């Protein structure tokens, strides 16, 4: 069964670096069909802009407030998340934030999807 995501949230450091190039220790990627956003705290805004030129860099002071502001503007109805990377507390915080947004985006666990994408490599010299 195919699932349509309005966006995906990347929380693991390994996947964040692989998909964006950003090596800072704090940050999240929110990727939709129209936008790629890298949210990070004040310490890494300049680094993120340099390392991830294809991403809109957002300074995040409060993750809850960032999502409350951003998700309705993006009109996301379903968001994939890295359930293998997310602890119970962080999942509850996100769930509470998303439930406060109307209409509430559905959270869909994506398992190892990003790791499977990272494992696909093109052979050298072919493209």
Stated pTM of the model: 0.83
Measured CA to CA in angstroms, residue 39 lies from 3, 81, 103, 120 at distances of 25, 15, 23, 26
pLDDT band at 9 (very low <50, low <70, confident <90, very high): very high
Q: 1 forms bridges with which residues in the sheet?
A: none
Q: Are 39 and 10 in contact (CB under 8 A)?
A: no
CB atoms within 10 A of CB 39: 23
Report whether pLDDT(3) > 60.
no
Q: Which CATH architecture has domain 7-119?
A: 3-Layer(aba) Sandwich (3.40)
pLDDT band at 120 (very low <50, low <70, confident <90, very high): confident
The domain ranges of the chain are 7-119
Please indicate whether residue 82 or residue 126 has the higher confidence score (pLDDT): 82
What token pair was written down for 31? 């990727």
Q: Tokens 């109307």 label which residue?
A: 102
């Amino acid at each position: 069964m195919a699932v349509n995501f309005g966006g995906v949230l990347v929380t693991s450091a390994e996947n964040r670096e692989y998909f964006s190039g950003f090596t800072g220790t704090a940050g999240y990627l929110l990727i939709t069909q129209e936008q790629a956003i890298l949210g990070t705290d004040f310490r890494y805004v300049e680094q993120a802009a340099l390392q991830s030129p294809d991403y809109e860099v957002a300074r995040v002071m409060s993750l809850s407030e960032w999502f409350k502001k951003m998700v309705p503007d993006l009109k996301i109805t379903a968001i994939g998340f890295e359930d293998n990377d997310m602890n119970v507390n962080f999942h509850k915080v996100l769930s509470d934030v998303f439930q406060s947004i109307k209409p509430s985006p559905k959270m869909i666990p994506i398992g190892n999807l990003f790791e499977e994408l990272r494992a696909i490599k093109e052979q050298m010299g072919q493209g």
